[in-house]
Amino acid sequence: MMNSRLVAAVLATVLLSACATRPVLESETRTTSAGPTGVRIVPERFVSAESPEDELDSLATWPTENGATWLIASAKSTHRLAVYDADSGQRLRTVGAKGQAPGQFKRPNGLTVFGDHLFVVERDNHRVQVLRLPDFAPVGSFGDVELRSPYGVWINELAPGELEAYITDSFMYGDKYDQVPALTELDQRVRRYKIHFDDGDAMRSEYVGSFGDTTEDAALRVVESIAGDPANDRLLIADEDDRHLSTLREYTLAGRYTGRRLPDRSFDAQAEGVALWSCPNGAGYWIAVDQLMPRTIFHVFDRVTLVPQGSFSGEVTAHTDGIALHAAGTTAFPTGALYAVHDDRSVTAFDLGDIARSLQLQSGCLN
């Protein structure tokens, strides 16, 4: 059954001794085309202990029934999920192992939580597996017929018990798997599924087609992250192909490209994770990853107009893939948190209040 408390937290998608510590860097401002204020430094509230063998990628949060919050990460190389305490960064457990059976994974990538259900995209099992929290019990899977190399996932609620899943499918060709398909095939870059949960948690799925622009200038070439905003009929899809133009492109929920992308030169590296920070009265912000070394830059855009609002980086966080925004308050983050993957090996956390103060964002967005 869906829990409205959990859904609300999801929609917003004390350092422990085990956590890594880093020296504080001097504050800096670097001019960037992504915002008028340049790049501000926002110190991380924690950096978890490193696990480089995992190759961490995507993140999702889930508020537990006892008042804690979990931060769940996909671990691609070890074919499992890593579960952290979202207040401290302490690693709590791992889930799964390599395989094709329910509850097993092969190269898990995109994650999202809706209610008590965790959706896990598996690139090499060519499916999306659905697990029930808190016990990670397998509920079902979908997409194994159509999906070829799936990566990202975003879920939209159509009605109670009825969801629509958007899955990016970044299949490639060539000996090194780096050859973008012909333009005529790029209308398969995002696939849509209807998901139904019946009484007793039984799940049914229905494939409802694919979409993607096929013109030279606007085609989605290399796709992974995707996120949506039903209030503005908007999907933002990250095209990571910096050989052409790495940016976020805007689609409607029906799959129509609007012809709009984020401003030129918004990203100096690959556009990666993207998350919506939803605020009262229809306001809010998009936060998007610029996957840079030695430190990731996070660009902030107005929710409605997509006008740049500024950029920030941490003192440590680098080469980020996935992010998760948890707008509900927790013990350590009473105004919410932004979580990020650091260089495929650990997870970091930013206080949303720190971000808002540094970029002079609306105080009404803080709980």
Q: What pLDDT is recorded for position 300?
A: 97
CA pair distance 110, 121, nearest whole angstrom: 5
User: Measured at the alpha carbon of residue 335, what is the angle toward residues 332 and 339, in degrees to the nearest 5?
Assistant: 70
Query: Taking the C-alpha atoms of 346, 224, 63 and 161 in order, what is their torsion angle to the nearest 10 degrees?
Result: -160
Q: What pLDDT sits at residue 16?
A: 33
CATH value of 4-17+56-284+324-341+349-365 in 2.60.40, 1.10.390, 3.30.1490, 2.120.10: 2.120.10
What is the predicted pLDDT for the residue at 96?
Answer: 97
pLDDT at 367: 73
So what's the pLDDT on residue 312? 97
What is the separation of C-alpha 66 from the centre of its chain, rounded to a whole number of angstroms?
Answer: 25
- pTM for this predicted structure: 0.90
CB-based burial label for 38 (10 Å; 0-12, 13-18, 19+): middle
How far the first Cα of the chain sits from its last, in Å, is 26
- What span, in angstroms and rounded, lies between the C-alpha atoms of 15 and 192? 40
Coil, strand, or helix at residue 199?
helix
Task: Compute the distance between CA of residue 3 and CA of residue 7 in angstroms, rounded to an integer.
Answer: 6
Cα–Cα distance, 46 to 332 (Å, whole number):
10
Q: What is the pLDDT of residue 363?
A: 79
The Cα–Cα gap between 230 and 303 comes to 12
∠ at Cα 348 (23, 228), nearest 5°? 145
Domain residue extents for the chain: 4-17+56-284+324-341+349-365
Mean pLDDT by runs of 10 across the 367 residues of the chain is 43 37 31 55 98 98 96 98 98 98 98 97 98 97 98 96 96 94 98 91 94 97 97 97 93 97 87 96 96 95 95 97 96 97 98 96 85
Q: What is the number of H-type helices and E-type strands within the chain?
A: 2, 26
193 bridge partner residues? 165, 207
pLDDT at 15 (0 to 100): 31
pLDDT score of 69: 98
